[in-house]
Amino acid sequence: MDDSLSARMRKAASALLTSLDEASHRLAALPFADDAARRWIEYRPAPRPGACLADLDNTGRKAAHRLLATALSPHAYAQAMAVVALEEVLDRSERGRRGRHSNDYWVAVFGDPERDDHWSWRFEGHHLSVTMTVVDGEVSPAPVFLGANPARVDYHGRTVSRPLAPEEDLARELLAALDPARRAEAIVSGDAPGDIRSATSPRTGPRIEPLGLARGRLTGSARSLLDQLVRLYLDRLPAELAAREAARVEAGELHFAWEGPTGPGQRHYYRVQGDNLLIEYDNTSDDGNHAHTVLRRPRSDFGDDVLAAHRAEAHG
């Protein structure tokens, strides 16, 4: 029996499509050739391709979550479920004005997972976007976006909820471990941007300048902390994918850049860039309590790497 990751995804996607009624199936099952719908990332509350979980029965919703779980490690799936639950917290703080709810998430499958040698799927909604592409049995991950609003909920100075705590804390530890000269290289701007710079672009484009501090300039604990930060984002993926991506990252140089003030509770942003790697984090709302994080692979997002290999072999 095939227990590979691609087989587990295929089984979960097929189970999802089988569970849907005709109307939802029409929305969720989309052509792989529809690049506009397939190459999509949208982490704001907005309409998007796919079937909405709110319109599915319990079986369909569970099937959608089981599909999502195939793409994430246990801790990242827990983060994703915390992100989903925060929709109800945000709805309460807004007194229901925008009608947010925890089933306002959408699932789409591109191509036929039972028959096609290349297909993909996406689970997406406010502050959560996960896309996986499967070609010839190989899974290509990314983009993987997780956000949180509120990023932190406290009770008398004690943390009640902080889903993306490691993503902020490790970066701050890295900054603290830098000597003044290297810290000055890493902090490329005193002002944070309004959002992650890759935003909702289907392609990330060239590297973001300035690159910031090179990993080769680091030693000891600072280098270890940068490596831990990168691995934190890669470890959102299932273990076999995370290990593969980590091996690829090790082959190239990394750069770390911070923008904005460095004090807690202030608007800030950082990124890590490497060969075919882009990690971004921002917490740039006025109250510094609204976080975005994303793992992208500039040359391989939406399966560009495995699709290119498939075409080369097919036309070789």
Q: Rounded mean pLDDT of the chain?
A: 96
In contact, 60 and 20? CB cutoff 8 Å: yes
- Looking at residue 251, its pLDDT comes to 67
Instruction: Indicate left, alpha or beta for 137 from its phi (over 0: left) and psi (-120 to 50: alpha).
Output: left
Q: Look at residue 53 and give its three-state secondary structure.
A: helix
Q: What angle do CA 157, 159, 165 make, to 5 degrees?
A: 130
Quote the tokens at residue 226: 């940068």
- Looking at residue 184, its pLDDT comes to 98
Per residue in 180-190, pLDDT tens?
Answer: 999 999 999 99
- Looking at residue 315, its pLDDT comes to 63
Question: Is the torsion defined by CA of 93, 266, 270, 79 positive or negative?
Answer: negative
What backbone torsions phi and psi does residue 192 show, to the nearest 5 degrees? -85, 145
Q: pTM for this one?
A: 0.96
- Banded pLDDT at 211 (limits 50, 70, 90): very high
Quote the tokens at residue 128: 């959560």
Per residue in 34-59, pLDDT tens?
Answer: 999 999 999 999 999 999 999 999 99
Mean pLDDT to the nearest integer, 284-294:
91
Would you kindly state where each structural domain of the chain is located, as residue ranges?
A: 5-149, 164-302
- Looking at residue 316, its pLDDT comes to 59
Q: What percent of the chain has pLDDT over 70?
A: 99
Per residue in 126-156, pLDDT tens?
Answer: 999 999 999 999 999 999 999 999 999 999 9
Mean pLDDT to the nearest integer, 278-298:
94
In contact, 109 and 119? CB cutoff 8 Å: yes
Q: Look at residue 179 and give its three-state secondary structure.
A: coil
Q: Judge whether residue 314 has pLDDT over 80.
A: no
Q: Look at residue 158 and give its three-state secondary structure.
A: strand
What gap in Å lies between CA 294 and CA 128, rounded to an integer?
A: 10
Give the number of other CB atoms < 10 A from CB of residue 193: 17
What gap in Å lies between CA 212 and CA 81, rounded to an integer?
A: 33
